[in-house]
Structure formats: structure tokens, C-alpha cells
Structure 1
Amino acid sequence: MLDFISKYTSSHEYAPSLEEIASYFDLASVSTAHHHVEALEGLGYLKKIDNHPRALEVVQRETVAEPVTQNISLKFDSNRITKTDIPVNQIVHADVIDFLKKMPGASVDLIVADPPYNLSQGGNWSWSGAKSLQGFGGKWSKVMENWDNMPLQDYFSFTLAWLTEAKRVLKPSGSIWIFGTYHNTGIINVAFQILEIEIINEIIWYKRNAFPNLSGRRFTASHETLLWGHVGGKKRKYYFDYPGSKTWFDSSDQIKKQDKQMRTVWDIPNNKERRELQFGKHPTQKPLSICKRIISLSSKENELVVSPFAGVGSECLAAAELNRRYIGIELDEAYVDIAKKRLDNAQKVRKLF
């Protein structure tokens, strides 16, 4: 959005209106554009004069280096993707925001995202003081975490950017799942509210076999959080296989009882089958068991599932084995190669039976 405002202002010699911003990004309402502008102003990216509809000014600041993306080896590399060009059942080597921007609106049934968690490995934390963020009832203090070179304000902007595109490409009947931890779920929750993505459920994924805490200075982290949201408005058109959720049975889940309602705490060990690791692994790789539960209960066969941070392709492999179409988007070429090997091998195995 910041890039659009900057280019529009340079071309027209005045800033776009909220209506023009909402129209360009296919936002649900002008108020959503207003929330975006307020958030960018609060983060110091924009200056806005009250009661002047076009009085926006991009603040000149030190740019944040963006990762270099290799060319996508597909015919639509530099153009918008039409519905007939969607690279179904492929792992695409691309930046997630750039790629989603090319996707047609309302073309995706389900998004299962495992974004960067913005973790801290115990490096130096520096408080930069209170930062006013209008519209949130007070001031926020930002924590700069040196470990991963993504300050909080940049992580928030990144989250808003990719979720804006995710919302645009989702069908009204679609939904989005996001994995997270206490490091980032608060930011994702706020971004959902800014973008008017309604949270359906918060799921606690309890991991009985979690890695122990070696420092002895805190409790052992034994769960992750999933946020499940939709963009269908008050009609709530999103798909949910409620009967399937009741009959779902997993012998490793000591909480879920067959023929009983599935609750919001899932007891799923973080174990991977041997075949999940044979071509390589990812540090935050999810087991197929949890991916299949999500995809089975929130999509139908032949629907399109998108994994915006595909890693080594667990969500895509789960989708393929459940007879869903998929697209995986991954920036790291090494992980793209592993994901492709996993999917190719799975396809060969299926042909044997």
C-alpha cells in the first residue's frame, strides 16, 4: 500500500483518496483503507493532515532491504495470473507478496500459512520508546529483536502486506489458518482485526513431545497457536465439515473422543514419519497429521489450497494426498527443491497402488 501511495503521488502530484486506495486493493470498505492508513501513519511511514481527504505524504526513511527473488520459471513471471493460468499443483519459487499480488481475486478456497515467527534467540533487546499507533487506544512500545533482523514495526507491516493479498485472493466461502507462537500471534490477531478478517477459532496445538527447556529459566513451551479466520462477512460462508470433525479419530490424540465435538485443544505429537524427512527437513516443519486435519475439515476435494510459506511442502503434500489442488510459495530455493522431491516421490508411490 505504501508503494502504491508513493507511486500515485509521484504520478499525479497529489495523494490517492481512501476510496481510490480501497478500489485498487479490492478492500471490503473505505473504512478498511482508513485503518491501513492509520496503521502506516502510526508506524511512521505516512504523514496525514486531518480533514483533508488527499493530504497523505510518504515519510522518507531508511529503506529496509528486501530479499532478492529468483525468476519464477513460469510463463506468467511478470504478469498478472488469470484463473486459467494458475500454477496448480506446483511449488513456486517466489516472494509471497509479489506472487499473491499476481493472483486473481476470489480464486482460493483455503490458505494454510506458517509464516516467520519473528523469534528471539536471547539476543539483545532494545526498547525504542513508546510509539503512538492511532486507533488502538494508546501507545505501543516496540521491541527491536536483533536475531532475525526484522524489527517489530517491519514485521507488523510485512504481516499486513501479505494478509491484505491473502484476503483478496480468498473466496467468500474460503478460510485461512495461520500457525504461530506467543512471538507473533498477537500481531496476527491485530492484523486480522484491521483487515476485517473474522476469527472463527483459536486452536491450541498441544505437543506432548515438545523439546525440553534446557535453561531452567522458564516453563517448557509445549504448544503452538493456530488462528482460523474467514472473509465472508456476516453471512459466514466459510466451509466447515462439522460432521467430519465429530467422527474424526486419531489414536495419538488423547483429548479428542470419537463421535464427540472436536474442541479447540488438539493433542497431536510433533512426530514426523520417516518419509517426511527423507529428502531433507525444515526447522519449523509441521507433521502431516496436523496439516491433514486442517485441510480435511475446512476444504472439499478438488478445491484449491495455498501454502504461502511452503517450506519443504508439508501442507502441499497433505493437500495432494487428500485430493485437493495446491500451490506452494517458497522463497528459499533449497526448500523448493526438497518440497518438489517430496511431492514427486509421493506421486510415484501413489501410482504403484
Structure 2
Amino acid sequence: MNTLTPIFASSDQDFVLYHNDCNMLLPQFEGKFDLIFADPPYFLSNDGLTIQNGQIVSVNKGEWDRGGEIGEIDSFNLKWISNAKRALKDTGSILISGTYHNIFSLGRVLQKLDFKILNIITWQKTNPPPNFSCRYLTHSTEQIIWARKSQKHKHIFNYEILKKINGDKQMRDVWTFPAITPWEKACGKHPTQKPLPLLVRLILMASNPDSLICDPFSGSSTTGIASNLLGRKFVGIEKELDFIKISKNRKIELQNNLELFKKKISDFRFL
């Protein structure tokens, strides 16, 4: 692998960030990762409006989330998922979050690239924003596609742990979590930040303590915080320096409050 210098590495080397485009770096990690969690652009920044905390606000997240033609979206997803597949071990799997804006493109690309789709997990939000136009149902869910790289190699699945978390019953594919809470935003907020308890469960489900986890669109690095909470090593790739700054501060916050973080996440009661 061509050695590149990370923009940040924690003192324990368990949390490493690169400032770059994931398509530049993923091929250089060929066969290295046990699990990739990706929260790619949803392409929903279309100058529309929504409601947050009772206020009318723009849906725009940034230029990186601007939508394009369906062919452009498919090409974007084909490129980064192809590179992600190269970076996975043969036994590795990928988790990709999305909504109706991009989930169908992601599913087509995964099938085209011969991934084996394992589940589509639905995150049911307990506190979704109301529908501003009153012309549609309230959008209260997001989906996470779980797929393994190989049709023949066995993937990691911690069945017994998830069963224990679920009251000794098989875990289903609909999970209920609130959106991010104020304590998760102490170091700043990413516009598409995912709740830490959701990432903890996903990583617990699909990785082992010695696994190496990657997030190619790491944002404020919720994936990295969840990985480190569970004792996994993390590599994040992010293009925006503002988000890297938030990520660094969140890692420092975690180092100073490790046990407090665990107490805030209910799944840790079963570990």
C-alpha cells in the first residue's frame, strides 16, 4: 500500500482520519477492512424547505449533497462502491445508509457488482420532522443496506449478542432510535449525523473486537466513536476540513468520558 500521511491519528492509533476523496484512498487499502459503514450523499439538497425544532429551514446540506441526473448518481455510486469492494476483505461486509432519494441506486449497484445483499435494516425515528407540504406521509425512516463482498465467503454476524439485546428473541430488521440528542452534538453537529446508539448496534452486529472498520464519508465520525467504544479500530476518510475538526474533538471527548458514553447507550447493558 502506498503510505499516505493521515491528517489525524489518536495516541492509541485506534482512530485515524484522512483528508481526501475516498476514491483516491480506498484502492490503497486493498483487502484491509472487515467492515465498511458508508453514509454517502443522499442528493436531496434541492433548495426545498423542512421543519426543525419548530422552525422552517432549508433542506440544503452543502454542495456535496446537490442532486444530479439519475445517471450521474448511478455513476457516483458505482465508482465508490467498486473501490469499497476492493478495500474489503473477502469475509468483509458493507453497510450503506440511505432514503428513497438514493437507496434504489445503491441497491442496483450492489447487485451489479455481485455483492450478496443480506438485509435492509429500517431505522424508525421516534422524533421525525413533520411533513412541511402536508401532501405526503411524514418521512420517518431511513434504510441501511447490509451486503457482503463475496457470495461464497462467510460474513461476520454476532447473532447471539443481538438476540440477547432483543430480550432473547431474534433481532428483526426494524430498529427504533431517536435522532441525535444534545449530548452527541457537544463538539459540533454534522447536517446528516447519525445517532451513536444506531452505529453501535450496527458495528456490534457485523464486526469482531479485532476488526478494522472504515467510513469513506466519515463526516463527524460517529462510526469511529462507535467503533472505539466497542474496542474496534477505525479509519475515516473525509473531504471537508470542518468535519474533520469535529471528529478530532469527538475522539478527545470520548477518551475523557469513555464510561459515561457507555452508560448513555442501552445496548452496553448486555455486553
- Look up the match of 1:258: 167
| 1:234 Cα offset (Å) | 2.6
Percent identity among equivalent residues? Answer: 38
Q: 1:259 to 1:149 in 2, by over 3 A?
A: closer
- Alignment match, 1:49: none
CA deviation string 1:94-139 (max 9, x = no partner): 1011011222x2110000100000115367xxxxxxxxxxxxxxxx
Residues in 1 aligned to 2:224 and 2:117: alpha-carbon distance in whole angstroms: 23
| Mapped partners of 2:45, 2:259: distance in 1 | 44
Q: 2:160 aligns to what?
A: 243
Q: What residue number does 1:229 align with?
A: 147
Paired position in structure 2 for 1:194 = 112
Q: Which amino acid aligns with 2:4?
A: F
- 2:264 maps to none
1:301–1:322 contact (8 Å) kept in structure 2: yes
Assess, with a 3 A threshold, how the Cα gap between structure 1 residues 233 and 352 changes in structure 2: closer, same or farther: closer
Q: Following the alignment from structure 2 to structure 1, what is the Cα–Cα distance between the partners of residues 3 and 152?
A: 38
Structure 2 unaligned regions, length at least 5: 6-12, 49-64, 262-271
Cα gap change, 1:352/1:262 in structure 2, threshold over 3 Å: closer, same or farther? closer
What are the ranges of 5 or more consecutive residues in structure 1 without an aligned counterpart?
1-73, 78-86, 124-146, 249-256
Taking structure 1 as reference, are residues 352 and 193 closer, same or farther at Cα in structure 2, changes over 3 Å only?
A: closer
Separation (CA, whole Å) in 2 of partners of 1:273 and 1:259 = 31
Partner of 2:96: 178
Match of 2:70 in 1: 152
Q: How high is the TM-score relative to the length of structure 1?
A: 0.64
> In structure 2, what is the Cα distance between the partners aligned to 1:343 and 1:222?
30
* Offset at residue 245 of structure 1 (A): 1.2
**1:299 offset after TM fit, Å?**
0.4
- Give the number of aligned pairs: 238
Q: Confirm whether residue 162 of structure 1 aligns to residue 87 of structure 2.
A: no
- CA separation in 2, counterparts of 1:76 and 1:114? 23
Q: Is 1:337 the counterpart of 2:220 in the alignment?
A: no
Match of 1:101 among 27, 39, 60: 27
Aligned-partner residue type, residue 318 of structure 1: A
Instruction: From 164, 179, 182, give the equivalent of 1:270.
Output: 179
Contact 1:175–1:238 (CA under 8 A) maintained in structure 2: yes
What CA distance in whole angstroms lies between the structure 2 residues aligned with 1:155 and 1:345?
36
Q: Which amino acid aligns with 2:189?
A: K
Between the aligned partners of 1:183 and 1:313, the Cα distance in structure 2 is 23
The answer (yes or no) to whether the contact 2:44–2:67 under 8 Å persists in 1 is: no
Displacement of 1:312 in angstroms is: 0.6
Trace 1:1-353 onto structure 2 (pairs within 5 A).
76=4, 89-103=15-29, 105-119=30-44, 121=46, 148=66, 150-235=68-153, 237-248=154-165, 257-274=166-183, 276-350=184-258
Equivalent AA in structure 2 for residue 268 of structure 1:
F
Q: Which amino acid aligns with 2:135?
A: R
Larger Rg: 1
Which residue identity is paired with 2:178? P
Offset, 1:212: 0.7
How far apart in 2 are the matches of 1:281 and 1:327?
Answer: 20
Pairwise CA distance, 1:352: 10
- The 2-side partners of 1:221 and 1:337 are apart by 31
Shift of 1:295: 0.3
